[in-house]
Amino acid sequence: MAKTTLAPTTLAPGARIGIVGGGQLGRMLALAAARLGMSCHIYTDRKDDPAIEIAAAATIAPYDNEMALAGFAADVDVITYEFENIPAWSAEFLAAIKPVRPSPAVLALTQDRLVEKNFIASLGIEVAPFAQVDDAGALARAIAQIGRPSILKTRRFGYDGKGQTLVREGSDLAVAFRSLGGQPSILEGFVPFVCEVSVVAARGLDGDFVAWDVGLNTHEHHILATTEVPASIDPDLRVRARDKAMRIAEALDYVGVLAVEMFVVSTPEGKRLLVNEIAPRVHNSGHWTLDGAATSQFEQHIRAICGFPLGLARAHGPVEMINLIGDDIFRWRDFLDVPGACLHVYGKADARPGRKMGHVTILKSAERDDDDSTR
């Protein structure tokens, strides 16, 4: 990937950061920026997004509105995103006015599962077997090559299990392809994984790379439910996972925080790691760092995009992060009584099923130490 051509500017407190996307990730980025004395301008197409009330300024306009994008860019010193499904040309448009970090090229690459998988494989990093599927005929050929069960995924705009369908023995291929709207897709072999892990890491403007310890993730209905750190996997596997994330970040000439999701598979020769996905942004499986690490992923991202030195990623001790999805948020009060529990509420008005409403970080050492505390 081409190296960044913009001069590496270093900003200072007082600077204004533009964040494209107004969800909880933008909200937590804006809070971290405020602590470093910087203000944020949120660009979103939804007027009730939770980042808006935290930010100094907001532009509410479609992601492809040139005039609104230009006004937003003029008001800020550096631009980042917390939501990767913005048109790649919007990111290019912004980058012609102000530095966009991570670069629009990274955004474009991670928006397309086929391009992303080819890129990861080109680094010699293992991924699930995959094949391009542009029509029902190509799906039949891909099944002949990869077998069943397998997962058909749209190349673009998939998240939290949306835009994918399992192809089992006996599944009708034409129905499967139509169920995703007949969109350009990829077929992936179903990975019989032992567990899912992620590496959340940061790369600075100067190329410095810092990774937090690996998280073990569980999902419910394809949505992240919990992250446990450190992941209860072999220490050697944790080192290998972080090394893969570093190779990916370097090959992308990445600036900012990224997450790399991986499957752990068991083979007669030992455990192997297959990379599933790259998220070019702060990530839900890194939320524990707000309470459980020397530097949070949100502060680290702000540091990276501003050209500041990166902070230490050391964890204070073992932690578990629990997502509060939909109605779970109504249990907020219970968590305030749990020793070592840190509650985060995103301020979303409507607790729809499947909606991420908040999270709780449980500091395991605080639970143990509670008896000696002076509270």
Nearest residue (CB) to ligand AMP, 25 versus 128: 128
Q: Burial, 184: exposed, middle or buried (Cβ in 10 Å; 0-12, 13-18, 19+)?
A: middle
164 is in an annotated binding site: yes
163 is in an annotated binding site: yes
Site string for ligand AMP, 84-103 (x = CB under 6 A): --------------------
- The pair phi, psi for residue 153, each rounded to 5°, is -130, 140
Contact flag: residue 112 with ligand AMP (CB under 6 A) = no
| Shortest Å distance, C-beta 261 to ligand AMP | 6
Amino acid in the structure at residue 324: L
Interacting residues with ligand AMP between 325 and 364 (CB under 6 A) = none
In our burial notation (b when 16+ CB lie closer than 10 A, e otherwise), range 252-261 reads bbbbbbbbbb
Q: Is the Cα dihedral 284, 290, 293, 56 positive or negative?
A: positive
Interface residue with ligand AMP, options 71, 158, 230, 311 (CB under 6 A): 158
User: Which stretch in 65-73, 100-108, 188-196, 344-352 sits in contact with ligand AMP by CB under 6 A?
Assistant: 188-196
Contact flag: residue 222 with ligand AMP (CB under 6 A) = yes
User: Which stretch in 53-61, 189-197, 352-360, 362-370 sits in contact with ligand AMP by CB under 6 A?
Assistant: 189-197
111 is in an annotated binding site: no
Rounded distance between C-alpha atoms, residue 38 and residue 222, angstroms: 35
277 is in an annotated binding site: yes
The alpha carbons of the chain give a radius of gyration, in whole angstroms, of: 21
Q: Give the long-range contacts of residues 327-336, CB within 8 A, separation 24 or more.
A: 327/351, 327/353, 328/357, 328/358, 329/357, 329/358, 332/358, 335/360
Tokens of 317: 């001790």
Nearest residue (CB) to ligand AMP, 112 versus 188: 188
14 is in an annotated binding site: no
Q: How many residues bind ligand AMP (CB under 6 A)?
A: 13
| Shortest Å distance, C-beta 47 to ligand AMP | 28
Block residue for tokens 């996307």: 21
Rounded distance between C-alpha atoms, residue 216 and residue 219, angstroms: 10
Rounded distance between C-alpha atoms, residue 219 and residue 197, angstroms: 11
3 is in an annotated binding site: no
Contact flag: residue 151 with ligand AMP (CB under 6 A) = yes
User: Which stretch in 178-186, 187-195, 201-209, 314-322 sits in contact with ligand AMP by CB under 6 A?
Assistant: 187-195
Task: Reply yes or no: is the peptide bond before residue 309 cis, omega within 30 of 0.
Answer: no
Task: Reply yes or no: is the peptide bond before residue 102 cis, omega within 30 of 0.
Answer: yes
Nearest residue (CB) to ligand AMP, 223 versus 345: 223
- CA-based diameter of the chain, in Å? 68
Rounded distance between C-alpha atoms, residue 330 and residue 333, angstroms: 8
320 is in an annotated binding site: no
Interface residue with ligand AMP, options 36, 136, 191, 338 (CB under 6 A): 191
Provide the β-strand partners of residue 188.
130, 151
Interface residue with ligand AMP, options 126, 134, 190, 345 (CB under 6 A): 190
190 is in an annotated binding site: yes
Interacting residues with ligand AMP between 113 and 132 (CB under 6 A) = 128
Rounded distance between C-alpha atoms, residue 353 and residue 39, angstroms: 32
User: Which stretch in 22-30, 183-191, 208-216, 319-327 sits in contact with ligand AMP by CB under 6 A?
Assistant: 183-191
191 is in an annotated binding site: yes
| Shortest Å distance, C-beta 274 to ligand AMP | 8
- DSSP letter, residue 315: B
Footprint of ligand AMP (CB under 6 A): 128, 151, 158, 161, 188, 190-191, 196, 219, 222, 261, 276-277
Q: Which residues are annotated as a binding site for ATP?
A: 113, 153, 158-164, 188-191, 196, 219, 276-277
